[in-house]
Homo-oligomer: A and B are copies of this chain.
Amino acid sequence: MASEGGEKPEVFGVERVAVTTRSYDWIIPTLRLLAFFATLAAALVMALNKQKKTFVVATIGTTPIQVTLTAKFRHTPAFVFFVIVNGIASLHNLLMLIVNLVGRKFDYKGLRPLVIAALDMMNVALVSGGVNAAAFMGQLGRDGNSHARWNKICDKFESYCDRGSGAMLASFIGLGLMIIVNIISIVKLRNHKLVNSSIVP
């Protein structure tokens, strides 16, 4: 099919269908571009998230003894994982955009849509894992857990927690966009099948 590359365009009655498919061809790249920006923003905001705070822990005479603590994403494994998976997802979406622009001729045995759909699905799984792990860790930071005697820390590091929440929101938006891309890809594979079987005599 003309809009996909790997098919034979000489079949009677296919031209009209190909044009119809092509008119919706901007949807997936647009969603991918948005997902790319969302996951990139999530990775960057979380990776650059840092807050220094100085506490007075004691007073000797009139001299206050101060301790400066720094909250960094690197201190929490879930946040490190979050940055890694959002970085992978934004790279993946960028690569798929480039493949979409220039890679139509490099379609070995029509395997490209299949490989893209499988990679998309694995990226959805990765981002979902990363953002959920970070979200539950963030919830622990905000509320603490009295049963485990883990105190909340967001009352001390407010802007750190707010920026972290922003990164998670961006990542959740990226995840939603990637799920929509995935569903549209599956629908497209399915529609090609219906189109091809309908032109069988």
Contacts and interface: CB of A to CB of B under 8 A. Distances in A.
A125 B128 contact: yes
A150 interface: yes
B128 A197 contact: no
Interface string A122-133: 101110111111
Interface string A72-86: 100111100100000
Contacts of A141: 148
Contact of A122 (B126, B139, B179): B179
Which secondary structure characterizes the binding site on chain A? Answer: helix
Contacts of A201: 201
A27 interface: no
Interface centre among A113, A187, A192, A200 (most CB of B within 10 A): A200
A78 to B, nearest CB: 4
A186 interface: yes
Contact of A148 (B75, B128, B131, B139): B75
Contacts of A76: 145, 147-148
Which 7 A-B pairs give the minimum distances between C-beta atoms?
A129-B132, A75-B147, A196-B196, A78-B136, A125-B128, A150-B150, A133-B136
